[in-house]
Amino acid sequence: MNIIVCVKQIPDPETPSASFRVDEAAKKVIPAQGIAPVVNPYDPQATEAALRLNEADGGGKVTVISLGPETARDAIKHALAMGADEGVLITGAEFEGIDNFQTAKALAAAVQKLGGADLILMGRAAADWDMGVVPTGVGSILDIPVVTLAKAIEKGGSGIKVERVLDDGFQTVEVNTPAVVSISNEFGEPRYPQLRQIMLAAKKTVQIWGAGDLGIGDQLGAANRDLTLEALYVPKVESNVEIIEGDSPEEKARNLAQKLRAAKLI
């Protein structure tokens, strides 16, 4: 199968809260000094799913796409070290400040520029914003089926069979390809690249594309956002504690009840 996997680089979720900063005026997260960004934790599972499918099928091609700054090349290299064949980095100043729907447009344009694929795999969501709308957006633009939250996937007949995670159980669906599938963390642990694979990954091709290469320059920018970001800030957590006094447990209970009644809580 010809499979495309979309990956993303995000701020390290293990960053200490004291190092986390937000520019509220610019509505941007300020990268923590000395802490490198990491691969979105759900994306290696999407790469693993692609590799397992092709191993079971006896061959195929896996291409990895990432949209982000130059450092996002590391996310691509991680997938290449796992066993993917080629990578594409979509980058440029035009992509700064885009929303999820513009991201979907860029990824869909990249898929089309690559000539399409039998299957497009992504992680269930990006752990930084945790919205999970890009897979559906890409499928909608390409007008192909979308299956979300897959815990298992296999080739079957003229398409694929996917076991999905639901709130109260699991669901098995079959769809024709091409299709978009988002892989859930229930899929299982991805393989860990060995040193030799990491060294080989350094020799694999990573193409660099900008908005002009994808023909979507006029669809980016603040004026073309579908999602308006009203505010971005670190929430402030405050608490007030009052000690209920009394000479006996019964008096304390009575004083507490009076406080709750005065606050109209009982």
Tens digit of each residue's pLDDT (9 = 90 or more) over 122-158: 999 999 989 999 999 999 999 999 999 999 999 987 8
Q: Is the dihedral of CA 129, 217, 96, 203 positive or negative?
A: positive
Which region among 30-34, 87-91, 128-132 has the lowest average model confidence (pLDDT)?
A: 30-34
pLDDT confidence band for 19 (50 / 70 / 90): confident
- In this structure, what CATH number is given to the domain that contains residue 21? 3.40.50.620
Q: Is residue 250 part of a domain?
A: no
Whole-number pLDDT of residue 166? 93
Q: Is residue 113 part of a domain?
A: yes
Average pLDDT over residues 245-257: 92
**Given a cut of 90, is residue 242 above it in pLDDT?**
no
Q: What is the pLDDT of residues 180-209, one digit of tens each?
A: 999 999 999 999 999 999 999 988 989 999
**Given a cut of 90, is residue 17 above it in pLDDT?**
no
**Given a cut of 90, is residue 62 above it in pLDDT?**
yes
What residues pair up with 65 in beta bridges, in sequence order?
A: 6, 88
What is the residue range of 163's domain? 2-224
Report the alpha-carbon distance of residue 9 to residue 200 in Å, rounded: 21
Q: Is residue 19 part of a domain?
A: yes
Contact (Cβ atoms closer than 8 angstroms) between residue 182 and residue 132? yes
> Tokens standing for 93?
């100043």
Q: What percent of the chain has pLDDT over 90?
A: 77
Q: Is residue 233 part of a domain?
A: no
Contact (Cβ atoms closer than 8 angstroms) between residue 128 and residue 10? yes
**What 3-state class would DSSP assign to 248?**
coil
Q: Is residue 134 part of a domain?
A: yes
Q: Is residue 212 part of a domain?
A: yes
Q: Is residue 237 part of a domain?
A: no
Residues in the chain: 266
E strands within the chain? Answer: 2-7, 9-10, 21-23, 28-30, 38-39, 61-67, 86-90, 119-123, 146-156, 159-166, 169-176, 179-183, 206-209
Strand 38-39 with 28-30, pairing: unpaired
How many domains would you assign to the chain?
Answer: 1
Q: Is residue 253 part of a domain?
A: no
